[in-house]
């Protein structure tokens, strides 16, 4: 190829040379020794430049093969032009292989193998081969550039195909979601269709049933039309009867108006009669006296009958239920041994011997209790020495029964019963109850188990324009039945101050006062009433020489006797018509001011002990009761508006 001529090779010596590799013996002396080959498939490299070209061509061959593999991988999706490029690449590869084979065999075609010593000929052959290889490399480079361009084109198409694949995947996902929604909708539609079919069947059955019913109705209609003719005749007769009834109704309406006028007249007469009854009732009570006194002697107790078998010092006239004689034997004032019998006779509005029951006693005061509903203040209290039966008379025993009930529960029962009867006459009542005691000249609320020591109860006037009294901070409880009041009485009885003394096993150490405020209203007659029913159980009087009281008991006895003495002073002042009445000397008389002052009706029980040993106390009690009975106060007035 125009290079420098190769110098002739030196003749080789046949003598052994040290440090030199022995040459391989040739099979033919005219053939040069075969060079070592790196690869079995490639031709021998005649020179460095040829080897570099071959290496370059071999290094660029894999992209073409890779492109061919890529082409085969996507050949199922590529268009027809891509498949044509793939065929061209395959043809190019085959042409390269053919040229290489031709180049490899070119030396053999030029002639036989040169002799080892013909170096110039060998160089000439190598130059020819190099030239051939260069041409082949140029062709391969051109084909390689075409393949690279085609590969880029294929890569572009591959990216397009990938983009299309992603779009198709997105569309497929969207279509899958839509498909699932449509499937769900289809299932719902199928279920709806199934339900509609069931409903259709039900409707068909209903239509069949209604068709049967319709036939029955048509048959009944025909029957009714048949009966209508008869009913028309009856209707005419009914209309005639109705016309006659309307005439009768008009006549009855006139009669009804006359009856209503008669009813109004009778109601007015009934009201006038009720007012007359109240007036006559009040006149009867006034004739009996606004301050009435009943005397009651209790029977002997079981333990007392052993010491005293009879009551010789007490006598009750058989024909007179208003007298009592108290007698005993006393020594003669002349100094002789003969004893004289001294008698003390007392007359009251009613005297109850030991055999009298609670019912007998209440029967006498029931009319007085009725006055409370008529609008009058009523006060009933029991007076006497300790152990004379005051608490039994007013409240009854601890084991209360209908037969042994005292005046307070019986009065409450009558008030509620009478109020219920008065409803038919147009009256409606409201009731408020309170219960207190006067212990050592201090007021205590018996309806409170644990009263507040800081809230002291005091008596006050309701206003400066009235003399009515009330106690602030006292429990005023609305009641509507007898049972509610009985519960309050039991609570008050448990809270009342009692103690044991030498005279009485269970002695009341305070004055107790139960009040029932009554408000009545008659809307038809435009009338209203307001009254207070007061029921008082006074503490018993005691003589200190008999009671032997000490300490707290002594203080209680002194307070009780003082308040009872003040009560006697008030009664005396009322009897003497004195200008000043000492009501405020004690809490008891101040609290009973309205009951003692003439504006109310009052009844006093004087309770007497049957024991002869209590003769002196019984005599004092009877004398005090006689003084009260002789007292004349003003006429009671009703609180009516």
Q: Which of 346, 389, 411, 287 is nearest to 623 (CA)?
A: 346
For position 55, what pLDDT does the model report? 37
Residue 343, marked binder: no
For position 525, what pLDDT does the model report? 82
Per-residue pLDDT at 496 exceeds 60: yes
Confidence label for 300 from pLDDT (cuts 50, 70 and 90): confident
Residue 385, marked binder: yes
Confidence label for 433 from pLDDT (cuts 50, 70 and 90): very high
Looking at residues 157-165, what average pLDDT do you find? 93
Q: Which of 491, 462, 463, 497 is nearest to 475 (CA)?
A: 491
For position 598, what pLDDT does the model report? 61
Residue 401, marked binder: no
Structure tokens at 131: 């030239």
Looking at residues 31-54, what average pLDDT do you find? 45
CA distances in angstroms from 268 to 120, 295, 522, 527, listed in the order given: 173, 42, 13, 13
Residue 390, marked binder: yes
Looking at residues 162-173, what average pLDDT do you find? 92
Q: Which of 450, 517, 435, 531 is nearest to 478 (CA)?
A: 517
Give 343's DSSP letter.
E
For position 38, what pLDDT does the model report? 44
Looking at residues 159-171, what average pLDDT do you find? 93
Whole domain around residue 411: which residue ranges? 289-630
Range scoring the smallest mean pLDDT among 56-70, 383-397, 536-550, 627-641: 56-70
Domain assignment of residue 191, yes or no: no
What ranges in 105-118 are assigned the alpha helix state H?
Answer: 106-110
Domain assignment of residue 395, yes or no: yes
Confidence label for 434 from pLDDT (cuts 50, 70 and 90): very high
Kindly report the backbone phi and psi dihedral angles of residue 591, in degrees, each rounded to the nearest multiple of 5, phi listed first.
Answer: -70, -30
Q: Which of 55, 60, 62, 50 is nearest to 134 (CA)?
A: 50
Three-state SS across 140-193? HHHHHHHHHHHHHHHHHHHHHHHHHHHHHHHHHHHHHHHHHHHHHHHHHHHHHH
Identify the residue with better confidence: 351 or 469. 351
- Residue bearing tokens 């200008």: 579
For position 4, what pLDDT does the model report? 47
SS3 505: coil
Residue 387, marked binder: yes
Confidence label for 6 from pLDDT (cuts 50, 70 and 90): very low
Residue 136, marked binder: no
**For the chain, what is the domain count?**
1
Looking at residues 324-352, what average pLDDT do you find? 77
For position 607, what pLDDT does the model report? 94
- Residue bearing tokens 């069947």: 201
- The alpha-carbon radius of gyration of the chain (Å, integer) is 71
Domain assignment of residue 316, yes or no: yes
Residue 391, marked binder: yes
Domain assignment of residue 350, yes or no: yes
Q: Is 604 exposed, middle or buried (0-12, 13-18, 19+ CB in 10 A)?
A: buried
Q: Give the Cα separation of 45 and 38 in Å (integer).
A: 9
For position 42, what pLDDT does the model report? 47
Domain assignment of residue 196, yes or no: no
Looking at residues 193-212, what average pLDDT do you find? 90
Looking at residues 348-365, what average pLDDT do you find? 92
Pick the most confident of 93-102, 269-278, 337-346, 473-482. 473-482
Looking at residues 587-603, what average pLDDT do you find? 81
Q: Give the Cα separation of 89 and 95 in Å (integer).
A: 10
CATH classification of the domain holding 345: 3.40.850.10
Tell me the percentage of the chain whose pLDDT exceeds 70. 72
Strand segments (E) across 359-509: 377-384, 427-439, 442-445, 460-461, 469-470, 477-479, 498-499, 507-508
Range scoring the smallest mean pLDDT among 92-96, 166-170, 205-209, 550-554: 92-96
**Strands 339-347 and 460-461, sheet pairing:** unpaired
Q: What single string gives the DSSP state of each residue in 245-257?
A: HHHHHHHHHHHHH
The mean predicted confidence, pLDDT, of the chain is: 77
Per-residue pLDDT at 107 exceeds 60: no
User: What does the pLDDT look like over 213-245, one tens digit per residue?
Assistant: 998 898 888 888 888 888 888 888 888 899 899
User: What does the pLDDT look like over 553-568, one tens digit per residue?
Assistant: 778 888 888 888 898 8
Are the C-beta atoms of residues 485 and 433 closer than 8 Å to each other? yes
Per-residue pLDDT at 475 exceeds 80: yes
Residue 540, marked binder: no
Pick the most confident of 70-84, 155-169, 594-608. 155-169
């Amino acid at each position: 190829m125009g290079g420098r001529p190769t110098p002739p090779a030196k003749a080789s010596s046949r003598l052994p040379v040290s440090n030199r590799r022995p040459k391989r013996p040739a099979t033919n002396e005219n053939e040069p020794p075969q060079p070592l080959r790196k690869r079995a498939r490639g031709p021998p490299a005649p020179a460095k430049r040829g080897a570099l070209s071959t290496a370059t061509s071999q290094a660029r061959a894999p992209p073409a093969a890779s492109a061919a593999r890529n082409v085969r991988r996507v050949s199922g999706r590529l268009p027809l032009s891509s498949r044509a490029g793939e065929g061209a690449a395959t043809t190019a590869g085959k042409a390269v292989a053919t040229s290489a084979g031709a180049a490899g065999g070119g030396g053999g075609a030029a002639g036989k193998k040169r002799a080892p010593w013909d170096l110039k000929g060998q160089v000439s052959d190598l130059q020819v081969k190099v030239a051939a290889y260069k041409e082949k490399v140029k062709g391969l480079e051109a084909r390689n550039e075409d393949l690279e361009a085609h590969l880029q084109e294929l890569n572009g198409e591959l990216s397009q195909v990938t983009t299309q694949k992603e779009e198709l995947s997105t569309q497929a996902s969207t279509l899958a979601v839509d498909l699932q929604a449509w499937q769900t909708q289809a299932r719902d539609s199928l279920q709806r269709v199934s339900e509609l079919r069931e409903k259709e069947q039900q409707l068909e059955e209903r239509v069949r049933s209604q068709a049967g019913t319709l036939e029955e109705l048509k048959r009944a209609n025909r029957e009714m039309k048949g009966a209508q003719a008869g009913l028309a005749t009856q209707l005419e007769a009914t209309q005639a009867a109705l016309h006659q009834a309307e005439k009768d109704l008009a006549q009855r309406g006139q009669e009804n108006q006359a009856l209503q006028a008669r009813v109004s007249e009778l109601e007015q007469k009934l009201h006038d009669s009720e007012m007359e009854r109240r007036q006559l009732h009040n006149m009867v009570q006034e004739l009996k006296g606004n301050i009435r006194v009943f005397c009651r002697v209790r029977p002997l107790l079981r333990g007392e009958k052993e010491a005293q078998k009879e009551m010789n010092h007490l006598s009750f006239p058989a024909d007179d239920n208003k007298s009592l004689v108290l007698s005993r034997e006393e020594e003669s004032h002349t100094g002789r041994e003969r004893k004289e019998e001294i008698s003390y006779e007392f007359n009251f509005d009613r005297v109850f011997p030991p055999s009298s029951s609670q019912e007998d006693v209440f029967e006498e005061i029931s009319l007085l209790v009725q006055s409370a509903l008529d609008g009058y203040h009523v006060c009933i209290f029991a007076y006497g020495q300790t152990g004379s039966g005051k608490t039994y008379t007013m409240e009854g025993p601890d084991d209360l029964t209908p037969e042994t009930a005292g005046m307070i529960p019986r009065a409450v029962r009558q008030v509620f019963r009478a109020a219920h009867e008065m409803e038919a006459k147009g009256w409606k009542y409201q009731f408020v109850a309170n219960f207190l005691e006067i212990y050592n000249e201090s007021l205590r609320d018996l309806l409170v188990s644990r009263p507040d020591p800081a809230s002291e109860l005091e008596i006050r006037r309701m206003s400066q324009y009235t003399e009515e009294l009330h106690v602030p901070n006292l429990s005023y409880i609305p009641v509507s039945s007898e049972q509610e009041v009985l519960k309050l009485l039991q609570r008050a009885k448990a809270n009342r101050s009692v103690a044991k003394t030498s005279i009485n096993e269970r002695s009341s150490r305070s004055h107790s006062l139960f009040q029932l405020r009554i408000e009545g209203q008659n809307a038809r007659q435009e009338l209203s009433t307001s009254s207070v029913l007061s029921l008082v159980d006074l503490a018993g009087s005691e003589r200190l020489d008999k009671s032997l009281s000490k300490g707290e008991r002594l203080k209680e006895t002194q307070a009780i006797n003082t308040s009872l003495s003040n009560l006697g002073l008030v009664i005396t002042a009322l009897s003497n018509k004195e200008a000043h009445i000492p009501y405020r000397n004690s809490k008891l008389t101040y609290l009973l001011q309205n009951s003692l002052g003439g504006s109310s009706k009052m009844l006093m029980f004087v309770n007497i002990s049957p024991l002869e040993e209590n003769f002196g106390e019984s005599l004092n009690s009877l004398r005090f009761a006689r003084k009260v009975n002789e007292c004349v106060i003003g006429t009671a007035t009703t609180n009516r508006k």
